[in-house]
Amino acid sequence: MNKKDVEFFKTLIAKEKENLLDKLGYLRENAMNTTVKDATGDHSSYSFHMADQGTDSQEREKAFLFASRESQYFERLELALKRLDEGTFGICVKCQKLIDRERLEAVPIATMCVDCKTEKKKAL
């Protein structure tokens, strides 16, 4: 992978991170609004409130699950950036072959080539 490619994927991943942070920021804002609305001024009762609200806490739980999945994705984007710096980006972690450029453009966090990924699925 040449310098130009590295720059290309760095930009791609940076954009992806920005989108993700936007999304997470939106979620956090929503969660904060709910907290403010529920707040009684007593912070120790927070956990009680969390358990006490039916649908509302379910909604929040969903948002939390979503956020944790997103933050996992964020970590994988970070890893992809690290791999770019290390020069291992685009190399399959299993067979050390180059991952298809098309695949990387579609899934910049991919660490395995299609063959190995398929193989892994079969094994499962």
**Using CB under 5 A as the criterion, which residues of the chain lie in contact with Zn ion when the complex forms?**
92, 94-95, 113, 116
Cβ proximity to Zn ion: between 13 and 92 the closer is 92
Closest approach of Zn ion to the CB of residue 91, in Å = 9
Q: Which is nearer to Zn ion, 81 or 92 (CB)?
A: 92
- Measured distance CA(63)–CA(31) in Å, rounded: 8
* Least distance CB 73 / Zn ion (angstroms): 21
Cβ 113 to Zn ion shortest distance, Å: 4
Closer to Zn ion by CB, 65 or 107: give it.
107
Interhelix angle for 54-86 vs 3-38, to 10°?
A: 160
Nearer to Zn ion, 70 or 115 (CB): 115
Tell me how far, at minimum, the Cβ of 53 lies from Zn ion, in Å.
47
